[in-house]
Structure 1
Amino acid sequence: AVASSEVVESSLKETCATGTFGYVAISFLDITADGSAFLLNLTTHCNSLTGDCTQLSSEITYCQELGVKVLLSIGDVPRRLNLTSAAYTQPVAEYLYNYFLGGNSSSRPLGDAVLDGIEVIVDGGSPNIYEGLAEYLKAYSTTESPIFMAAAPQCDYPETFNSSSYDIVWPQFYNDDCSLTTSWEEWAAKTEAIMIAVGLPTAEDAASGYMTANDVITRVLPLAKTSPKYGGVMLWNRYWDISNGNYSAEIMPYVVGQSSSIFSYILQTVGLAL
């Protein structure tokens, strides 16, 4: 499916300026199976190979000044985080820290801005990969410069996935055949993460499993808020959000609470959203 050509995904700065989002995830960083090569793939937004993605540095800083945390997303289909050995997680974590987080590198793809954390798409592969990567990245975290770790697993609860090193998990309740009610209750009861958010698509064309804003407000959120770990809603993604009349703004008044927020993917195109 193709959205109207009149719909244009907003910039990172424009997205943060809406006041709707507490977090945004820049998508995606591709990583080879041996963890030796990396490519920041923001498609039509900028070309990391020519260095012009550094222009986003000022937009990242702008978002952070508004209190919006900016994450880098890794591991999406078809670029799953399929490291062939858990031994590769340490050098990958070191790369992420030096090139995107608080470390030092002479060549940072997004410029001098320091991202707030990493979001990992959990989709197949060894659980040790996801656990090890989070543990190594958290080792760089300090009180002055905390590193926020998010995980986006499939909706069915994976018994082998240890989320104790993640600040939040947002199961993807889309593109999968599972019961939101049953799966949410299992995630809420078993996850070791500090918070849990509901992962939803923003439009019918964004992914299967779309629910109208009214259904989210009247059915999903009342269930989600019964968990003391409820942390908000994750939305896939900003392009389809806009194409669907700013779906995020419609549900936002019902999402937020003392420790909850809305999370969204940004810098995406139609092709990568399908």
Structure 2
Amino acid sequence: MKLFRSALYAASTVVLLGQSVRAFDPLSRTNVVNYWGQNSASYAGGKEGDLVDYCQDGTVSVFAMAFISQIQNGRPILNLANHCAQTFPGTTLLNCPKIGQDIKACQASGKAIVISIGGASGAYSLPDAAAGRAFADQIWDLFLGGSSGTRPFGDAVLDGVDLDLESGQNAGYVALVDSLRAKFAAAGGARRYYITAAPQCPYPDRATKDALEQSWFDLVWVQFYNNYCGVNNFGLGSSFNFATWNNWATTVSLNKNVRILLGVPGGPGAAGTGVIDAARLNNILAEVQSHSNFGGVMMWDAGIAPSCSPYRAYASYCVCSSKCRHPNRDPSSSPTWSVTRRPQRRL
């Protein structure tokens, strides 16, 4: 795919397709976040394109690169599905210079690019503060403002770290976030770094609870799917709980200006439950955007959320029917699966 078709973007109250490129603003109420890297489109017979293809769309604010899926001997294991297979000699660490060039091109167009730790499968426990501080050193040197001879994306400097913790022993992530914050401050200069999180909607999220209560986050995009509190239960009682997360932002979070984003599936195959149509998404947005810390929409993920032309003017969330051809589909190729693929995020 050479020309990105924008995905799942909400109604005119959130984004307008085709708007001019703008620099990422963490305090904006109209941010759009997309995950990239796991080739989830293969579930529908498609294939996720290169990162730079998706960055051509002016409505996406942030791309979260998925995932650092494991931590082995204190070092990260990066999994980007079919996008990169080369490793540094004598290591298991991916060496992806092409993706590094894509990252810089995306940043030049105003996007923020963060590296996501976690996923629905993987072994990424940080059981204590010492492990968290040591891993922060690794993340800083390999992906952010530090230096190393084995940087997966070369001289590309990412804009921050996302925590998509869904299992494991995660007490050490408080120290990881705090250590990274200290490095951000010590680095000085004009570059800003961000810490984000993707908790599941049951509150409190057990995997990210300690970090969310004790550390400073800039944006939190909550997964309102694959759970009783998902968008599919909006209007069917009190289980949809965006208000609960907004209350966390204003009463518990260290950063009282933290933005809460509505996390939704990008289309069929993106989740077990929570795949909704444009009209329902617009109804939900009409309510949640009134909350003080609302910050926009997150979707899983870039390859699975194609645009359908009838909604191109305003409402861009679309569950593709048989009349809406998947733009990534390549009938001549077989799906490439990732060991960390996760169309369903579950507790």
What band does the TM-score fall into relative to the shorter chain? 0.7 to 0.9
**Residue 152 (str. 1) matches residue 198 (str. 2):** yes
**Residue 89 (str. 1) matches residue 132 (str. 2):** yes
Instruction: Name structure 1 gaps, 5 residues minimum.
Output: 255-267
Helix, strand or coil: the match of 2:127? coil
Structure 1, 8-17 or 93-102: larger mean CA deviation: 8-17
Pick the structure with greater CA Rg: 2
Q: Distance in 1 between matches of 2:295 and 2:138?
A: 29
**Residue 22 (str. 1) matches residue 61 (str. 2):** yes
Alignment CA distance shift 1:196-1:4 (3 Å): closer
Q: Percent identity?
A: 30
- What code does the residue aligned with 1:90 have? R
Structure 1, 87-96 or 151-160: larger mean CA deviation: 151-160
Alignment CA distance shift 1:246-1:150 (3 Å): farther
Note the C-alpha offset of 1:40.
Answer: 1.3
Q: TM-score scaled by structure 2?
A: 0.67
The within-5 A match list for 1:7-46 is 7-32=46-71, 36-46=74-84
Alignment CA distance shift 1:179-1:62 (3 Å): closer
Alignment CA distance shift 1:74-1:249 (3 Å): farther
Helix, strand or coil: the match of 1:154? coil
Note the C-alpha offset of 1:57.
Answer: 1.4
**Residue 206 (str. 1) matches residue 274 (str. 2):** no
Alignment CA distance shift 1:211-1:253 (3 Å): closer
Structure 1, 87-96 or 208-217: larger mean CA deviation: 208-217
Asked if the contact 2:143/2:157 (under 8 Å) is kept, the reply is yes
The within-5 A match list for 1:154-173 is 154-158=200-204, 160-163=209-212, 164-173=215-224
Aligned partner of 2:281 in structure 1 is 216
**Residue 185 (str. 1) matches residue 243 (str. 2):** yes
Aligned partner of 1:195 in structure 2 is 259
Q: TM-score scaled by structure 1?
A: 0.83
- What code does the residue aligned with 1:43 have? A
Alignment CA distance shift 1:179-1:4 (3 Å): closer
Name the count of aligned residue pairs.
257
Asked if the contact 1:213/1:251 (under 8 Å) is kept, the reply is no
Alignment CA distance shift 1:207-1:57 (3 Å): same
- What code does the residue aligned with 1:226 have? S
Asked if the contact 1:56/1:111 (under 8 Å) is kept, the reply is no
Q: Distance in 2 between matches of 1:246 and 1:273?
A: 27
**Residue 54 (str. 1) matches residue 105 (str. 2):** no
Structure 1, 147-156 or 81-90: larger mean CA deviation: 81-90
Q: Distance in 1 between matches of 2:312 and 2:137?
A: 37
Query: Over aligned residues, Cα RMSD in angstroms?
Result: 2.8
Give a deviation string over 1:122-181, Cα, whole Å, max 9, x none.
324456333222111111114522211110111011174443411011111112222555
Helix, strand or coil: the match of 2:177? helix
Give a deviation string over 1:220-263, Cα, whole Å, max 9, x none.
21122111211111100011102x64899676679xxxxxxxxx
Greater helix percent: which structure?
Answer: 1
